[in-house]
């Protein structure tokens, strides 16, 4: 596939008129007889990266010259630099609503500011798509929209540092959503749910061998059909296509280390968000033009794969949310808090929770996550929120809310029964769960708690708040006694005491 046909100048007016007839409103350079713009990097023949002002001027010029392109600001960096989203479609980009409801692909450049080639690739590719006459590309642009965040970390690019201006590696914050840059990226992922996302990087200390490494999302909680297709795209499609241009290829990372299943990084988060994902990593000590070309060839391969397997990709990606919601509702399937598809997990929740109970304060602290992951929540009377695992983004929920997760944001109460959440009956089922997990020293202590909860249930049904609160105080005394005498595990006691406090808040209203 040739992405540079726009460079061929047409010398005869009759050919120009023919192209206008065949391709109305395409925004081709030949229609206006205007040379498509070059990046600062191209103008200097690779002797200096595109500057931030040059990028802004370049985006404006491309959007002005091509009807296929629009862009706007989606966020602001720590130091106030704009973060842009570019949309490329044929004959023009659809509305954001239509993009979100249709097919789209996203290319993200330079999360790490000292990895400049991905940004240059993104700028050149969006320009090439804006003016290409290639039939396959025009067909693809008619069926889907290609989105770009050319510079995800503009402060880091300006300073030539891996981190953002606060010294944070933003590619370790896609679970926490703690930086402005990551929130901008997450807003795009949440709104548009791309079929495929390219997360382009470099290995700054490598001089080659291979020229470019690639990898798919390896997290074990990703939809199996997605991960299988993703692996096929990399190994069976992209490696051969990139190697045809003379570049050596390889898989990124090592088992148990870089390239694993870490839920915080973009590559894995793309799969956890139910899309296909690709990590590219060029060798940062190689010649700049060579690195940019390797990045271009890799993403060209993704575009070809998208074109050739369009219906299959659409079917698998669009079906993933429903499959994940179903798996989230199945407690007989484990949840993996570590591990990868090439590394045996060591931290596994064998009995998956049905959901997590949060206090109102915890729910407030998670407001950004609820919004940018589109997580569904249910009110537990006025006392808290319940986050069910039976929803499309279930794969991020334990990572965010489970006390056993390495990088959790809050410690919610894991529940194993989704019926009557926020009642003594539901809490009684949690006691049963902990009993089955051998959290109590003897059966007598289990019976004592269950008898107390049965009494509370009776008073709840009679809406006798005075007796409910009196017996909840008695339940706290029982749990404190069991803790003091080491009759209950620390985890079980913590969750049961937390649940009791939530019930007290409910019945004090």
| Structural domain contains residue 188 | yes
Q: What is the rounded CA–CA span in Å between residue 423 and residue 419?
A: 9
The beta-strand segments (E) located in 121-269 are 144-149, 196-203, 212-215, 249-251
Q: What is the rounded CA–CA span in Å between residue 180 and residue 237?
A: 35
Whether 158 is a known active-site residue: answer no
For residues 235-245, give the mean pLDDT.
98
| 15 or 349, which is more confident | 349
Residue 258: per-residue pLDDT: 80
Query: How much is the pTM?
Result: 0.92
pLDDT in tens, 338-388: 999 999 999 999 999 999 999 999 999 999 999 999 999 999 999 999 999
| Structural domain contains residue 299 | yes
State yes or no: pLDDT of 32 exceeds 90. no
Cα distances (Å, whole numbers) of residue 66 to 37, 127, 130, 450: 11, 9, 6, 70
pLDDT band at 256 (very low <50, low <70, confident <90, very high): low
Q: Are residues 361 and 257 in the same domain?
A: no
The number of folded domains in the chain is 2
pLDDT in tens, 456-504: 999 999 999 999 999 999 999 999 999 999 999 999 999 999 999 999 9
Residue 508: per-residue pLDDT: 87
For residues 45-73, give the mean pLDDT.
98
Burial of 486 (0-12, 13-18, 19+ CB in 10 A): exposed
Q: Are residues 369 and 265 in the same domain?
A: no
Q: Are residues 137 and 286 in the same domain?
A: yes
For residue 91 the two structure tokens come to: 């004959």
| Structural domain contains residue 330 | no
3-state secondary structure of 175: coil
pLDDT band at 255 (very low <50, low <70, confident <90, very high): low
Whether cis (ω within 30° of 0) applies to the bond prior to 170 is no
Whether cis (ω within 30° of 0) applies to the bond prior to 210 is yes
For residues 192 and 147, the answer to whether their CB atoms sit within 8 Å is: yes
| Structural domain contains residue 1 | no
Cα distances (Å, whole numbers) of residue 184 to 83, 85, 108, 174: 8, 9, 12, 11
State yes or no: pLDDT of 169 exceeds 80. yes
Comparing CA positions, the residue from 203, 290, 302, 301 lying closest to residue 252 is 203
- Domain limits for position 430: 348-508
| Structural domain contains residue 331 | no
pLDDT in tens, 412-433: 999 999 999 999 999 999 999 9
Q: Residues 281, 300, 409, 460: which is the catalytic one?
A: 281
| Structural domain contains residue 87 | yes
Output DSSP code: residue 6. Answer: G
Residue 167: per-residue pLDDT: 98
Q: Are residues 298 and 371 in the same domain?
A: no
What is the CATH number for 194? 3.40.630.10
State yes or no: pLDDT of 15 exceeds 70. no
For residue 467 the two structure tokens come to: 């007796």
| 98 or 255, which is more confident | 98
Average pLDDT, the chain: 94
Distance of CA 324 to the CA centre of its chain: 15
For residues 171 and 262, the answer to whether their CB atoms sit within 8 Å is: no
Q: What is the rounded CA–CA span in Å between residue 340 and residue 272?
A: 13
pLDDT band at 293 (very low <50, low <70, confident <90, very high): very high
State yes or no: pLDDT of 10 exceeds 50. no
Q: Are residues 307 and 376 in the same domain?
A: no
For residues 266 and 111, the answer to whether their CB atoms sit within 8 Å is: yes
| 12 or 98, which is more confident | 98
Q: Are residues 134 and 272 in the same domain?
A: yes
pLDDT in tens, 170-228: 999 999 999 999 999 999 999 999 999 999 999 999 999 999 999 999 999 999 999 99
pLDDT in tens, 434-451: 999 999 999 999 999 999
DSSP sequence for 30-66: HHHT-PPP--HHHHTTTSSPPPHHHHHHHHHHHHHH-
For residues 159-166, give the mean pLDDT.
98
Q: Are residues 168 and 217 in the same domain?
A: yes
CA atoms within 13 A on the CB side of 393: 21
pLDDT band at 399 (very low <50, low <70, confident <90, very high): very high
For residue 221 the two structure tokens come to: 């909680």
| Structural domain contains residue 8 | no
Residue 34: per-residue pLDDT: 72
Residue 509: per-residue pLDDT: 67
Output DSSP code: residue 9. Answer: P
| Structural domain contains residue 469 | yes
Q: Are residues 182 and 221 in the same domain?
A: yes
Q: Are residues 356 and 304 in the same domain?
A: no
State yes or no: pLDDT of 8 exceeds 50. no
pLDDT band at 282 (very low <50, low <70, confident <90, very high): very high
Neighbours of 415 (CB within 10 A): 25
Q: Are residues 307 and 358 in the same domain?
A: no
Q: Are residues 383 and 484 in the same domain?
A: yes
Q: Are residues 303 and 391 in the same domain?
A: no
Share of the chain above pLDDT 70, in %: 93
């Amino acid at each position: 596939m040739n992405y540079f046909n726009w460079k061929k100048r047409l010398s005869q007016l009759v050919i120009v008129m023919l192209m206008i007839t065949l391709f109305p409103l395409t925004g081709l350079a030949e229609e206006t007889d205007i040379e498509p713009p070059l990046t600062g990097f191209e103008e200097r023949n690779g002797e200096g990266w595109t500057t931030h002002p040059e990028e802004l001027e370049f985006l404006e010029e491309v959007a002005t010259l091509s009807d296929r392109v629009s862009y706007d600001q989606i966020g602001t960096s720590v130091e106030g630099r704009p973060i842009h989203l570019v949309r490329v479609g044929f004959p023009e980009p659809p509305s954001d609503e239509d993009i979100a409801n249709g097919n789209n692909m996203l290319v993200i450049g330079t999360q790490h500011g000292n990895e400049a080639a991905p940004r240059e690739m993104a700028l050149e590719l969006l320009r090439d798509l804006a003016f290409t006459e290639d039939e396959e590309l025009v067909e693809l642009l008619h069926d889907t929209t290609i989105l770009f965040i050319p510079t995800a970390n503009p402060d880091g690019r300006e300073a030539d540092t891996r981190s953002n201006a606060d010294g944070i590696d933003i590619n370790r914050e896609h679970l926490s959503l703690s930086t402005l840059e990551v929130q901008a990226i997450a807003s795009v992922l949440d709104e548009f749910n791309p079929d495929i996302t390219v997360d382009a990087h470099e290995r700054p200390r490598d001089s080659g061998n291979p020229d470019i490494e690639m990898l798919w999302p390896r997290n074990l909680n990703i939809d199996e059909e997605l991960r299988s297709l993703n692996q096929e795209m990399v190994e069976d499609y992209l490696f051969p296509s990139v190697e045809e241009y003379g570049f050596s290829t390889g898989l990124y990372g090592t088992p148990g280390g870089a390239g694993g299943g870490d839920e915080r990084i973009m590559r894995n988060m793309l799969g956890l968000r139910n899309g296909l994902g690709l990590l590219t990593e060029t060798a940062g000590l190689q010649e700049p033009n060579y690195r940019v070309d390797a990045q271009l060839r890799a993403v060209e391969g993704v575009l070809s794969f998208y074109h050739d397997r369009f219906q299959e990709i659409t079917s698998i990606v669009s079906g993933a949310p429903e499959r994940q919601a179903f798996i989230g509702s199945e407690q007989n399937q484990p949840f993996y808090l570590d591990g990868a598809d090439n590394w045996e997990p060591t931290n596994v929740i064998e009995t998956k929770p049905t959901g997590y109970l949060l206090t109102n304060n915890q729910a407030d602290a998670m407001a950004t996550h609820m919004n940018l992951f589109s997580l569904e929540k249910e009110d537990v009377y006025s006392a808290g929120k319940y986050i069910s695992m039976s929803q499309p983004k279930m794969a991020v929920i334990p990572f965010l809310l489970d006390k056993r997760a390495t990088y959790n944001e809050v410690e919610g109460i894991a529940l194993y029964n989704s019926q009557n959440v926020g009642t003594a009956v539901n809490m009684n089922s949690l006691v049963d769960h902990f009993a089955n997990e051998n959290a109590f020293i003897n059966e007598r202590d289990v019976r004592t708690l269950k008898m107390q909860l049965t009494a509370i249930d009776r008073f709840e049904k009679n809406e006798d708040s005075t007796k409910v609160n009196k017996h909840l105080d008695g339940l706290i005394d029982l749990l404190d006694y069991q803790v003091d005498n080491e009759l209950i595990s620390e985890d079980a006691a913590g969750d049961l005491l937390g649940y009791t406090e939530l019930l007290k808040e409910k019945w004090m209203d």
